[in-house]
Amino acid sequence: METEGLTMPYLIWLVVGPVWIGTLALLLPTRLSRLLVTLFRGVLFALSVWVFLGIRQTGMVEQTLGNWPVFAAITLRADFLAIDLILLTALVYALAGLYEWNRAEKDRLFLFLFTSMQGLINGIFLSGDLFNLFVLLEVATLVNSVLIMFKKDSQAMYDGLIYLLVNTVSMSFFLMGTGILYKATGLLDLKLLAGQIPGHPDPSSLLLPYVFLMVAASLKSALMPLFSWLPKAHGTPSAPSAVSAVLSGIYVKSGVYLYERLQTVFSPVVDTRELFLVLGFITAVVGFILALMQKDIKLILAYHTVSQIGLIMIGLNQGSEPASFGAFYHIINHALFKSTLFLAAGLIIRRYQTRNLFEIKGVFRTMPLTGAATALAILGITGAPFFNGSVSKYWIGYGSTGSWLEYGLLLINFGTILSFTKFSTILFGPKAWPGKRKGIHTTDLLSEGVVLFMGILCLLGGVFSESLTTVLFGLPMSIGATSFPTKTLIFLLLVIAAAALYFGLLKKRAWLKSSGRFELTFNGIVASQAGFFTFLLLYVVWQAR
């Protein structure tokens, strides 16, 4: 199917193009491969912009491959949300590629895997068929596992293997749900399912496949209690920083995206929004508490991804359109400031040769560009006035005044500010010269420039939020002039309270230096999936009565 004004074969290039270029890079000399992949990422970003502009004119567009009927064909479907995420992916990939330009791990195999992953992510966002989603998610799991284990040290091998096995089990749930749903409806296409499910003669037969599918989506989203795999994958010591940035900034959103698509399709027969609202709140709180307990700077960031996913889930499940758009904007904002923080952390670790927060001081003086980028990203994630996070958090909380959620969101933001008060101590102190240590390499100026640019985007996303969200969502989003003074005052009071609590009390506590990871064995993680499945099944059956 083609939509007037946009040549649809270009949709498939968003998926297969990165895989083909990655394969070609595997065959060429390393220097030529680097140049080819870098140029292609620029071209893919331009193509993403072009498709985005076409969708702005025509609305949702589809491409059905092979001229098969829609119910049997591979269908790529791009709406505003999908193309926004593809455009975001193209931007982060282009910047991460420049960041990695002079890194030792940027050999041909890394280029092949990392570039192919972009095509898989695009395919997940564009696919309109459950079985195709299963295949794409399975292949992406395999590629991500290899990227996590890329440097082949013992911890990375263990973390990558846990990631592979856990996600394989979750996709078994997904496949089971897909099979049962196909038996009940004869369909796998999400658009066709959305049309048939409201009039299905036996709604109770759809509850079991919904639960199977939602368990997989919840694990991919790293919701409580299914999140313990994420710090292993995103914070493993030797994973390239660009991999951590993409996993935490982009790929984990595929789970959130899948969750929202499934909820929309099944909403006529089952409504679990209230349950997932509570789970999102618990996830956000547990995430920042565990982040506060870390001394490893990458683990702090990894656990904060868990917390921010919880915040996004709160926005998606309030039943409020402004809150939902706030959650969508926070997906974009989180990708920017979390990618910035992970890439900056990679530079800091490279210079200081340690991940221990208490051994890193004076980043502002030692690495001024990286320090500035880190500060800008911290202001973004904590929701400082004029920064992107402040706008999305404001809209997530839209309409919560007077309810428990208003105070819950204040608690979440206070926890975020508190843990980043601890994190920000690396920026200050006397000028350090870690480069005198054996084996230190000079920080790459290009990489520092990339992270600084990304930090500036966090500011621009707040200052120009109204224009940006109008383009992205067709909805101008900003903090109103009447609300801005109140929100600014609340933020300043939270900062003062967090600083007083951390420096006056918590800094002296040994447990803040213990690096307490919430570790589950593989058996424990699988048991948590089984327990969550049982709980969710009982909940939807009870609700259906």
Instruction: Quickly list DSSP for 114-148.
Output: HHHHHHHHHHHHHB-BHHHHHHHHHHHHHHHHHHH
Least confident of 53-62, 414-423, 504-513: 504-513
Confidence (pTM)? 0.90
List b or e across 439-456, with b for residues whose CB sees 16 or more CB atoms inside 10 angstroms. eeeebbeebbebbbebbe
The reported pLDDT for the residue numbered 192 is 86
The reported pLDDT for the residue numbered 294 is 86
Q: What is the CA radius of gyration of the chain?
A: 22
Which is higher by pLDDT, 29 or 214?
214
Token pair for 451 = 């992270």
d(CA 321, CA 95): 32
**What is the enclosing helix (H) or strand (E) of 348?**
helix 321-352
Q: What average pLDDT does range 446-469 have in this prediction?
A: 90
Task: With cut-offs at 50, 70 and 90, classify the pLDDT of residue 513.
Answer: low
* Highest-scoring range by mean pLDDT, 1-5, 155-159, 361-365: 361-365
The reported pLDDT for the residue numbered 102 is 67
Query: For 237-252, what is each residue's pLDDT tens digit?
Result: 667 788 888 888 888 8
Task: With cut-offs at 50, 70 and 90, classify the pLDDT of residue 380.
Answer: very high
Task: With cut-offs at 50, 70 and 90, classify the pLDDT of residue 510.
Answer: low
Within 10 A of 233 (CB to CB), how many other CB atoms are there?
Answer: 27
CB-based burial of residue 504 (10 Å sphere; 0-12 exposed, 13-18 middle, 19+ buried)?
exposed
What are the helix (H) ranges across 101-239? 108-126, 130-148, 154-185, 190-196, 207-221, 229-234
**Would you say residue 439 has pLDDT above 50?**
no
**Would you say residue 505 has pLDDT above 90?**
no
Which is higher by pLDDT, 414 or 163?
414
Least confident of 194-203, 294-303, 519-528, 530-539: 519-528
Query: For 312-344, what is each residue's pLDDT tens digit?
Result: 999 999 888 888 889 999 999 999 999 999 999
Which is higher by pLDDT, 517 or 59?
59
